[in-house]
Amino acid sequence: MTTLNRYDKISKNILGLLLLLFTGSIAILNLLVPDRTFSESENRMLEPLPQISLKSLTSGKFTSDFEKYISDQLIFRDLWIGVKTDTDRIMGKKESNGIYLGKDGHLIQQFIPPEDGDLEKKVDAILAFDRATPNLRKYVMLVPTATTLLKEQLPAYAPAGDEKAYLDQIRQLIQQRGIPFVNVYPALYTQREQPIFYKTDHHWTTRGAYFAYRELCKQMGIPPQQEEDFNIRQVSRQFYGSLHSKSGFRQIQPDSIELYLPKDPEKYTVEYVDEDQTSDSLYEMEQLHKKDQYAVFLNGNHPLIRITTAHPEKKRLLVVKDSYANSLIPFLTKHFSEIDVVDLRYYEGDLTTFVKEREIDELLLLYNVHTFSEDPSIKNLSEAIQ
């Protein structure tokens, strides 16, 4: 055996031993370190150890769940995600987990249209609810996201999906049935050079919500508040949102969060009904010290929130919504005496009965297009009626 071959064999053995030590150390650490229930960096619940049973074994569910568990509970998971994403970025890749790294650090998520027939079922649910509540004035606002409004920020040839076509289809179906559709696309498109979306999060900013609020006021026939009626206060400069968490892109600048605080403030009570808690503020400032800083608006998502204002007219509004509504609702307290806020992802009551018992005057259905396409809970509107 030549000296060169001997050194080659020794180096291979050393590399094999190092690899064995590395994988063995990771396996031991995984056994010693307690499982985590929540990932701060990804802002989501992590997969727990699945329960084994004959049914789960034969169906393959246990194997699938166990793979997810191993992936979620891998020691130093956040580090591995960051290393992989940074490596992909160095190699020129600008997509991670359905999120594109756009110009100026904009993270933009891909739009995946739902299965055939899903849209029709959701529209049918809205129409069934409309028929069950004929005296309730309704408005539908489906908000386009940065995927459409900031598509010029996307990398070249990025197949981001046709969100605009899906939005137009919904608008046509809703308007054909005589329900007012609040089309905020033109207003937001005009203002797209302004920061109307966070760069690291899927939500619109408070400024984006304000422009949509003005369009809603036109539909409702109420005078909107002007931007100069507010003190615009920056409450965070270190906000990393959901797209930052989901993508793994780490070397980007954080967002800022602004609050539009009325110069002429009114007193109101915010009641988190299911939690039996009340507050005198629409903003939970403690959330700014946590990962999900967007929860500063209405303390995040809840099944039912009731806002009572000092508005002299006894006008009652029901908002059925996703989290996009959380930063828009504060603008509406100037126009209604009571605002009930329902998130169908968590609310289990009968909304038709709720409308009648609460003597609701108007309803705003507010979702962003991504949530509307992905979330099945909107179908609960018709299931409660049946």
Closest listed residue to residue 382, CA positions, set 136, 171, 124? 124
Say if strands 362-368 and 316-321 run parallel, antiparallel, or are unpaired.
Answer: parallel
Please state the pTM of the whole predicted model.
0.82
pLDDT by residue, tens only, the chain of 386 residues: 566 566 667 777 777 776 777 666 655 755 666 766 655 555 555 667 677 777 766 777 667 766 766 666 656 566 656 665 556 555 556 788 889 999 989 999 999 888 889 999 999 999 999 999 999 999 999 999 999 999 999 998 888 789 999 999 999 999 998 999 999 999 999 999 999 999 999 999 999 999 999 999 999 999 999 999 999 999 999 999 999 988 888 788 999 999 999 999 888 999 999 999 999 999 999 999 998 999 999 999 999 999 999 887 889 999 999 999 999 999 999 999 999 999 999 999 999 999 999 999 999 999 999 999 999 999 988 765 55
For residues 229 and 264, what is the distance between their CA atoms, to the nearest angstrom?
Answer: 8
Identity at 316, one-letter amino acid code: R
Q: In terms of DSSP H, where are the helices of 60-106?
A: 61-73, 77-90
Instruction: DSSP letter for 226, please.
Output: P
The Cα 384–Cα 355 span in angstroms is 13
Contacts of 34 (CB under 8 A, 6+ apart): none
What is the H or E stretch that residue 45 is in? strand 44-45
CA distance 87 to 209: 36
Give the type of residue at 48: P
